[in-house]
């Protein structure tokens, strides 16, 4: 009977060595994250480092939840971009708005989640869970974005990637004037030519200020359909050239779906032959059975054509707070992998879009459509 046991019944023995003073993050992850969501986080770290950061993989990152106010843009995301570990991004507008506080010399502070919010309101203090900051931070950032968006270069229709790239230049200039460096994600992305998209540009204080300018006769024109095509073009080009596409998802929400819908856009709508993203890595605390796990599980995503079914074993969902997982994942990757050459996809958007348009035209002419 013993010989009849399936081989997968047992994995490596759980017998970790005791942690010692001076243990590194990578040693801790590899040696002690052996079960439950600790093991899923180890799988996530290894998937990211061993497969997603291979030279032929284009990595997209999605960002939701209030992560930049907690300083994770500065501590983790900028290092990932500088190392070439993230090639393009989709973020909530709120994360980019709060990121800008740092770049223009404003401050966020540690606070308490059980603070008296009525008293905070009376004192002009705003709270994001256990982060606090002066109400003037909002007013100053609003004024900054309105000043930027009033510039003539923002009158033409543009994708959100173009908007963030142009706005990032102004944030970078303010950083330089203040004697700061690497304090703002949007400024860093500008310098590194990493395109950042926002799937719901009206759903943030940046969008609110753009709406105010519209009332004043200085409307912004974000071309959301350009966003759909540009993001699909990035993924299509990566696969067409014989490479792979990977999606790193922090949280969920609209940014997750917007990144994953690139494959149905390529296959279902544009009629091009494609199989789905190659690597899927999500950090979340949501559940699929309540409808809260936006875009759902990797297996469900396969049914939509979002994930290549042959790559499903390489998909990992770590049910961990992003504020815990991201620093660990970043430190692990920086210690295990040398920097990759920057892809500078922002500067290649027109070329990639032309390639997608040409392929779609050929598919229409041939009367073909993927199923």
Catalytic machinery residues: 306
Among 350, 367, 361, smallest CA distance to 159 is for 350
What is the C-alpha radius of gyration for the chain, rounded to an integer number of angstroms?
22
Among 195, 197, 287, 272, smallest CA distance to 237 is for 272
Distance CA 323, CA 317 (A): 15
DSSP assignment of 26-40: HHHHHHH--SHHHHH
Could you give the angle at the alpha carbon of 92 between the alpha carbons of 235 and 79, nearest 5°?
70
Among 194, 161, 168, 236, smallest CA distance to 80 is for 194
Q: What are phi and psi of 274, to 5 degrees?
A: -150, 160
Could you give the angle at the alpha carbon of 184 between the alpha carbons of 179 and 190, nearest 5°?
100
Task: Provide the 3-class DSSP secondary structure of residue 53.
Answer: coil
């Amino acid at each position: 009977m013993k010989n009849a046991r399936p081989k997968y019944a047992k994995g490596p023995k759980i017998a970790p060595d005791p942690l010692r003073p001076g243990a590194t993050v990578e040693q801790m992850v590899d040696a002690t994250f052996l079960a439950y969501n600790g093991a899923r986080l180890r799988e996530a770290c290894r998937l990211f480092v061993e497969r997603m950061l291979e030279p032929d993989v284009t990595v997209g990152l999605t960002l939701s939840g209030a992560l930049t106010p907690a300083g994770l843009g500065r501590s983790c995301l900028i290092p990932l971009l500088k190392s070439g570990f993230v090639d393009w991004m989709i973020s909530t507008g709120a994360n980019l708005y709060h990121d800008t506080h740092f770049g223009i010399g404003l401050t966020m502070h540690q606070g308490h989640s059980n603070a008296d919010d009525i008293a905070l309101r009376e004192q002009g203090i705003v709270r994001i869970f256990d982060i606090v900051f002066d109400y003037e931070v909002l007013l100053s950032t609003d004024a900054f974005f309105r000043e930027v968006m009033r510039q003539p270069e923002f009158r033409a229709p543009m994708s959100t990637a173009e908007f963030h790239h142009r706005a990032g230049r102004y944030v970078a200039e303010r950083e330089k004037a203040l004697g700061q460096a690497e304090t703002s994600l949007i400024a860093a992305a500008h310098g590194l030519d990493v395109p950042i998209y926002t799937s719901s540009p009206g759903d943030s204080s940046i969008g609110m200020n753009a709406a105010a300018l519209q009332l004043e006769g200085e409307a912004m024109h974000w071309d959301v359909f350009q966003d759909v095509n540009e993001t699909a073009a990035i993924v299509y080009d990566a696969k067409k050239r014989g490479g792979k596409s990977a999606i790193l998802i922090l949280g969920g929400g609209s940014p997750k779906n917007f990144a994953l819908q690139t494959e149905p856009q390529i296959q279902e709508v544009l009629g091009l032959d494609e199989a789905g993203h190659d690597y899927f890595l999500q950090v979340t605390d949501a559940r699929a059975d309540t409808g809260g796990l936006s875009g759902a599980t990797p297996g469900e995503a396969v049914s939509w054509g979002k994930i290549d079914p042959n790559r499903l074993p390489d998909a990992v969902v770590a049910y961990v707070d992003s504020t815990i997982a991201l620093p660990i994942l970043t430190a692990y990757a920086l210690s295990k992998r040398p920097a990759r050459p920057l892809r500078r996809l922002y500067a290649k958007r027109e070329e990639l879009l032309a390639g997608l348009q040409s392929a779609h035209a050929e598919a229409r002419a041939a009367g073909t459509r993927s199923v």
